[in-house]
Structure 1
Amino acid sequence: MATNVKYYCMAFLKDGTPSVRIFANTKDIEKNNEKYIAELKQKVKKMTEEELFVVDIISASDYDLYVNGDGTNTYVRDMETGKPKIYIPPEPTKEELQAQALANLESEYNAQKEGFKKDLDTANLAGNTEAIKSIQEEYMEFNAAYEEAKNEILKDE
């Protein structure tokens, strides 16, 4: 990142996620102007309603990692070291996995259902009562299999 800014004042959430930030004056930071730094941190805190865990002065290179990542990874603050670390998402909960499985099943169900509708419309237009009956029976079996699959996803293990 090409910039003439050397330092930022950035706020972080409890999990290390970066929040609001502003430029910091290089001279005041390098001279460790405590009054300026304290006022700058207060200014950042007032920029959001989020519950901030820490507000700190960071380098432009750290800022770039937090905001842009490295092209492959995203970064959060390591609360022990105060440095950027690669964000590793938490394992999905049972509820999240269940919701994802239900969404996938629902999507598959709706696509198949549309196929049945088209086949039934074609059979109706052709007046093919044998095909209509066959499609209806197949659709009933399909619905039963869908309900069984849905119940399997929802049951507690």
Structure 2
Amino acid sequence: MATNVKYYCMAFLKDGTPSVRTFASTKSVENSDENYITDLKNKVMSMANNEEVSIVDIINSEEYNLYVNGDGTNTYIRDMETGTPKVYVPPEPTQQEKQITEINAISGSVELQAKELKDAMIIALLNNDIELQEELKQEYQELMSNTNNEMKEVVEK
């Protein structure tokens, strides 16, 4: 993203995630105007609205673009040791997050199967097909029982 801004003042959370930011005066930054830089960092800190900001720093436009737009493939966070952008690697999901994903997948599948059974039941009712109604009731009960067992297995892992 092309811009005529050379410097930004950006806040970073303790995990390196970029937060609030604003433009920085090129002349003031390049002249190392300490009063301007301190005031600008304080302004950005006040913009953070209760976020747990770890650091506020002056960054160049190339770093800014990586933090805000990524490189087309990766997203970036601040390396809190070096102060430079690094590729964001999401943490491995927790056991609980994995279980939630599995349960949601089971629920989605069951929801679709239950809808199909419901639609078939409506047709069986309209046709007064008692035998088919009983078969569909049995299928529904088996579906719910199997689903319950699958979910218990996921939770017990």
Shared fold (TM-score, shorter chain, > 0.5): yes
Which residue number corresponds to residue 103 of structure 2?
102
Residues 68-107 of structure 1 mapped to structure 2, 5 A cutoff:
68-107=69-108
Q: Which structure 2 residue ranges, 5 or more long, are not aligned?
A: none
CA deviation after TM superposition for structure 1 residue 100, in Å: 1.0
Which residue number corresponds to residue 142 of structure 1?
143
CA deviation after TM superposition for structure 1 residue 134, in Å: 1.1
CA deviation after TM superposition for structure 1 residue 22, in Å: 0.7
How far, CA to CA, are the matches of 2:26 and 2:149 in structure 1? 64
Percent identical across equivalent pairs? Answer: 49
What is the RMSD computed on CA atoms of the aligned residues? 0.9
How far, CA to CA, are the matches of 2:130 and 2:138 in structure 1? 12
**Alignment of 1:61 onto 2:62:** yes
CA deviation after TM superposition for structure 1 residue 131, in Å: 1.0
TM-score by length of 1: 0.96
Which residue number corresponds to residue 29 of structure 1?
29
Q: Which structure 1 residue ranges, 5 or more long, are not aligned?
A: none
How far, CA to CA, are the matches of 2:78 and 2:106 in structure 1? 37
SS of structure 2 residue aligned to 1:85: strand
Q: Which runs of 4+ in 1 moved over 2 A?
A: none
Which residue number corresponds to residue 9 of structure 2?
9
List per-residue Cα deviations over 1:31-72 (Å, max 9, x = no partner): 111111111111110112211000000000100000001111
Which residue number corresponds to residue 119 of structure 1?
120
Which residue number corresponds to residue 19 of structure 2?
19
How far, CA to CA, are the matches of 1:97 and 1:144 in structure 2? 22
How far, CA to CA, are the matches of 2:65 and 2:18 in structure 1? 11
SS of structure 2 residue aligned to 1:22: strand
- Name whichever of 42-51 and 11-20 sits farther off: 42-51
How far, CA to CA, are the matches of 2:21 and 2:135 in structure 1? 64
TM-score by length of 2: 0.96
Query: Aligned partner of 1:69: which letter?
Result: G
- Name whichever of 42-51 and 4-13 sits farther off: 42-51
SS of structure 1 residue aligned to 2:40: helix
Query: Aligned partner of 2:4: which letter?
Result: N
CA deviation after TM superposition for structure 1 residue 93, in Å: 0.4
SS of structure 2 residue aligned to 1:53: strand
